[in-house]
Each structure stands twice: as C-alpha cells, then as structure tokens.
Amino acid sequence: MAQQLGAGGLTLENKTFYEKELLYRAVPQFVHLGWGIQKNIPARGSNNLEWRRLERPAVATTALTEGTPPSSTAVTWVSVVATVQQYGAYARFSEVAMRQSIDNILSETVEMWGEHMGETLDIIARNVLIGGTTVQYAGAAVSRGAVSSNIDEAEIREAVATLKRANARRIAKAGGRYVAIAHPNAMGDFIGSPTGNLSLILQRAGLRGDANPLFTGDAFDYLGVRFLESSNARIFGCAGWSTSTGRVGVFQTLIMGEGYYGEVKYQEGDANIIVHAPGSGGAGTDPLNQFGSVGWKAPLAVRILNDNFAVRIEHAASSDVQAGNA
C-alpha cells in the first residue's frame, strides 16, 4: 500500500505549518564490516565462495635416520563456504504525497534508507562475528550467567595474550593492530577503570593537545589494540540473573585479528538505493501514475574463517541500563 498525504505514517506531513527541520535520527557507528578478508563474486560465478586452507602439522622434531625415509605426514584441508544473500526494504508513496508534502520526501527517504541499509548489514555481520568459540568470561566467572565483573585492562591483556598464543596476526588496515569492538558502556568502564588508570595513561603518554582521545572521544590504540565503540555491540539478556542484582545484560567486547572472518559480495549488483518515480510501474501495476517507491538492496555473506583469531569477552557494565539487543 502506498503511503498517502494525511494518512498513516504521513499524517505529520499534512500540517499547515511547522518548523521544517526533521528530527535527528540516532544512527550507531557501523564498525563490524571492513576488517575481514573481502571478496567479490564475479558475474556468472554462482552465489557461493569457498575459502580453503591447510592445517599446519605438528613440528617435526625427530631426527632423520640416515638412509631411511620417515613416514609420510598426512595433511588436512579446511574448507569454509559463504553463500551470498540479498537484503533490502522499500516504501511506496503516492504521487500526491511526493509532490505536495512540505518536506522533500524523496531526498529524506533516500537518506533514511541509506542509514537503514548500513545498520542492517552491520547487525548481520555482528551476529556472525560474536559466534566465535573463543570466549573469555570477565573476572573469575566460568559461564555467562556467572558474569559480574566489568571490563578492565587485565581482561584486554588476557585476550591479547590469547590471540598471540594462537599466532593471530594483527590487521594491516587497522594500522597493524588488533581490532576491538565494544559498547559505549564498556568503553566508559575501561577508560575509567582504577586498575588500569587508562585516562592517566592517555594524559601522560598519548598525543598532546586537542587530538588526544580524551578530548575527541575518537578511537584509540592501546596494548596493540585499536578500540572502536558502537551501540550495536551485542548485549545478551539477563542470563538467569535475579532482577534484584540490578543487572539486565551481559555485554560483549570482541577483539579480532587478521583472517578471523570473510565478507563476500557480488562484483556486480552491489549495494544500491533504488528509486522508482510514479508511473515507472507501467500499465500493469500503476496505470494512472499514482505512486513511486524508494528502497535499498544489498548482497552480503559473512563467515568466520578461524575461531582462534578472535576473543569474545563477556562482561558486565556499570551503566547497565538496557536488556539484550538482537
């Protein structure tokens, strides 16, 4: 059904006068894509892409016997297949609404759908990335339901050590750093943690002047990790806690290295904002040129390639004000 002037979602557009300034749309930072191995499938190349790697055998520490060949070493191949799927959404508008509304419906809707597309793809990627099997529970917890400690420097050091033991390389496009994605509540705890005293470190060892992260609030590097924050960072529900504890969510901070995951798109037919003017539907669907549409469509597949190359830290947060986010 096409949205009409003065009806449904466009009722506000039929006012005689109002301040022509649309409300600011709260948009989270889209940070989960762009750090993996990126591939494009060419036209007529199917919608599947396969990654393969050889597992490294155990080191050969036994000396050879002179004149006697050793036993053959079996090698193991690992295969990961990603299947690209398309995602999208659209809205239809009557030609009267598009022509007579106080606001420029077309340009505003295009901007809104661009944000909607970005967040959708970010959430799709996030839901895959937090599925890794290397999990670190904050403090002395041994399960999600037992988590009660906030994140601090000790947790970051432990996660970095885990990645180094797994020989996870740092991400080149992140300036040769591991990449951490954390919720703003977690970043507040981390910077303000009395055990690490990160705010004091940034004051004394960080950049001088207005570019210091304490002033800008921008991403910063510490302990070989580039820290990014987003309200899209995953929060799981209460995990069985009693509501008397005041806790309502278990926060996830993901720290990853090079090659943790791959992201695949089509080489042709990439993400697009699609606009159809009234009448473009033709005689079959729009014989009187009464409506147009605005939407987006994008192909994407995200797959974990090596579970050892990321650590998911599960922890509480002092500003624990929201339940899980899907």
The answer to whether residue 9 is domain-embedded is no
- Is residue 79 situated within a structural domain? no
What Å distances lie between residue 219 and 52, 157, 182, 194, 238, CA to CA?
Answer: 33, 18, 11, 20, 29
- Across 172-181, b (16+ Cβ under 10 Å) vs e yields eebeebbbbb
Q: One digit per residue, pLDDT tens: the chain, 326 residues? A: 666 666 666 665 555 544 554 555 566 668 999 999 999 999 989 999 999 999 889 999 999 999 999 999 999 999 999 999 999 999 999 989 888 887 788 888 888 998 999 999 999 999 999 999 999 999 989 998 888 889 988 999 999 999 999 999 999 999 999 999 999 989 888 877 666 566 666 665 556 666 666 556 666 788 899 999 999 999 987 655 555 555 668 999 999 999 999 999 998 877 888 888 888 888 888 889 998 998 999 999 999 999 999 999 999 988 665 567 77
Tell me whether residue 157 is in a domain: yes
- Token pair 């000790």 is found at 154
Determine, yes or no, domain membership for 156.
yes
Q: Which two tokens stand for residue 286?
A: 């729009």
Range(s) of the domain holding residue 203? 134-261+305-315
Long-range pairs for 88-91 at CB < 8 Å and ≥24 separation? 88/117, 88/295, 88/296, 88/297, 88/298, 89/113, 89/116, 89/120, 89/295, 89/296, 90/274, 90/293, 90/294, 90/295, 90/296, 91/3, 91/293, 91/294, 91/295
pTM reported for the whole predicted model: 0.85
For 158, the token pair is 């432990």
Number of domains, the chain: 1
Q: Is residue 193 situated within a structural domain?
A: yes
